[in-house]
């Protein structure tokens, strides 16, 4: 019978240590606790939807889908239609993106493609990031007292040149759709720049080397190789920015004019769902609260679909290298 060369080791050292019950309880308890904490996300999300839906039910039953297409907002006769706000939300955010996307992507290219020294690139990147940190309400204050008076001459010029078209046929008088769009540009620019910058940085170096190797110029490489490789992430970022622009409240509320009458002109005051909520929710009662909740529900559905589309685009359109 073979004898163990070192019997002392066999005796205790290799006996399994039983885990004390207290340790097991702590382990299991901690796991369940983190599970519970992780579930709060789902609970809060569900809670938000149910609260808004529950609040909106009365208005949905009363106004139905006419709410989306009528534009009278009349607390005295209790007639509500959110067309102005929905139109304003869509138009302001889409036009803001139209301006912000070239600016943001251009800036991102400028600070990723080795056009200027690294220190300068980092400085511009830092400044755009800090712009994202400025609170919306401060931008709104700045828009009221500094930006709007400063751009009024330009808007007046726009009115005198293009006043024949229904989009510019009102005289700019302070708050309006156009300043709101500009302040939205300022707000979404950092998002688009940051996401485009990350997307461009993630394009594999081999793609650039290949493009330069076959003799293309810098902008030839950017337009036909680098941008197409990064386009899915950039599009996703643009969609996220669209969602942010539609839900943006404070700066827009302070400068858009909160109109109750529909006007096609971009120089006239307008309204958005978010600014309507910010302005009226505190003082509303009865069915007006419900109508506002209905508008909030529409805003939620809009931002939700845009955000889901953004995630879907990033996942589906991403190139496999």
CB 42 to other proteins: min, Å: 5
Output 5 or 282, the one with its CB closest to other proteins.
Answer: 282
Which residues share a beta bridge with 73? 80
Backbone φ and ψ for 80, nearest 5 degrees, come out as -130, 135
296 touching other proteins, by CB under 8 A: yes
**Minimum CB distance to other proteins, residue 235 (Å):** 16
> Of 9, 47, 160, 224, which lies in the binding site for other proteins, with binding defined by CB under 8 A?
47
Of 155 and 254, which CB lies nearer to other proteins in the complex structure? Answer: 254
Question: 229 or 293: whose CB is closer to other proteins?
Answer: 293
Q: Taking contact as CB under 8 A, which single stretch among the options 132-140, 151-159, 161-169, 198-206 is the one that binds other proteins?
A: 132-140
Q: Which residues within the stretch 165-224 sit at the binding site for other proteins (CB under 8 A)? A: 186, 189, 193, 217-220, 222
Rounded to whole angstroms, the Cα distance separating 255 from 258 reads 8
Dist. CA 278–CA 136, nearest whole Å = 13
Task: Write down the least CB distance from residue 3 to other proteins, Å.
Answer: 30
Cα torsion through 215, 217, 218, 220, rounded to 10: -100
Q: Considering the complex, state which of residue 4 and residue 285 has its C-beta at the smaller distance from other proteins.
A: 285
Chain centroid to Cα 226, Å, comes to 25
Of 17 and 316, which has the nearer Cβ to other proteins? 17
Instruction: For the segment 98-117, give every residue that binds other proteins (CB under 8 A).
Output: 102-104, 106-107, 109-111, 115-116
Radius of gyration for the chain, computed over Cα atoms and rounded to the nearest angstrom: 28
Q: How far is the C-alpha of 51 from the C-alpha of 294, rounded, in Å? A: 11
- Nearest distance, CB of residue 184 and other proteins, angstroms: 12
301: tokens are 């559905």
The structure tokens listed for 128 are: 């755009």
Closest approach of Cβ 292 to other proteins, in Å?
Answer: 8
Q: Are strands 73-74 and 79-80 parallel, antiparallel or unpaired?
A: antiparallel
Contact residue for other proteins among 250, 256, 259, 266 (CB under 8 A): 250
232 contributes a contact to other proteins by CB under 8 A: no
| Minimum CB distance to other proteins smaller for 86 or for 250 | 250
Helix residue ranges, H only, the chain: 7-11, 21-63, 66-69, 83-112, 118-133, 136-142, 148-162, 177-201, 205-213, 218-221, 227-247, 250-256, 273-280, 287-317
């Amino acid at each position: 019978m073979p004898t163990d060369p070192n019997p002392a080791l066999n005796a205790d050292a290799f006996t399994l240590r039983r885990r004390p019950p207290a340790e097991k309880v702590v382990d299991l308890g901690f796991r369940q606790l983190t599970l519970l904490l992780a579930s709060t996300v789902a609970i809060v999300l569900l809670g938000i939807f149910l609260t808004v839906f529950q609040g909106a039910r009365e208005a949905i039953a009363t106004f139905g889908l006419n709410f989306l297409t009528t534009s009278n907002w009349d607390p005295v006769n209790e007639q509500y239609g959110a067309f102005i706000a929905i139109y304003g939300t869509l138009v302001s955010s889409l036009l803001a993106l139209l301006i912000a996307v070239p600016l943001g992507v251009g800036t991102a290219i400028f600070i990723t493609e080795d056009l200027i020294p690294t220190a300068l690139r980092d400085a511009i990147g830092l400044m755009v990031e800090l712009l994202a940190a400025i609170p919306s309400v401060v931008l709104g204050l700045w828009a009221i007292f500094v930006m709007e008076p400063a751009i009024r001459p330009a808007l007046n010029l726009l009115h005198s040149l293009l006043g024949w078209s229904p989009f510019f046929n009102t005289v700019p008088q302070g708050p309006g759709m156009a300043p709101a769009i500009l302040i939205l540009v300022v707000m979404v620019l950092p998002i688009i720049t940051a996401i485009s910058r990350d997307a461009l940085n993630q394009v594999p170096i081999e793609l650039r080397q290949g493009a330069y190797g076959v003799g293309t110029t810098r902008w030839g490489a950017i337009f036909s190789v680098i941008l197409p490789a990064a386009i899915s992430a950039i599009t996703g970022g643009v969609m996220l920015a669209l969602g942010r622009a539609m839900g943006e409240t404070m700066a827009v509320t302070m400068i858009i004019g909160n109109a109750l009458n529909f006007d096609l002109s971009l120089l006239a005051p307008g309204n958005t769902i978010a600014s309507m909520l910010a302005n009226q929710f505190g003082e509303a009662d009865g069915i007006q609260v419900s109508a506002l909740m209905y508008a909030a529900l529409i805003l939620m559905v809009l931002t939700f679909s845009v955000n889901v589309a953004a995630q879907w685009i990033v996942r589906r359109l991403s190139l496999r290298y």
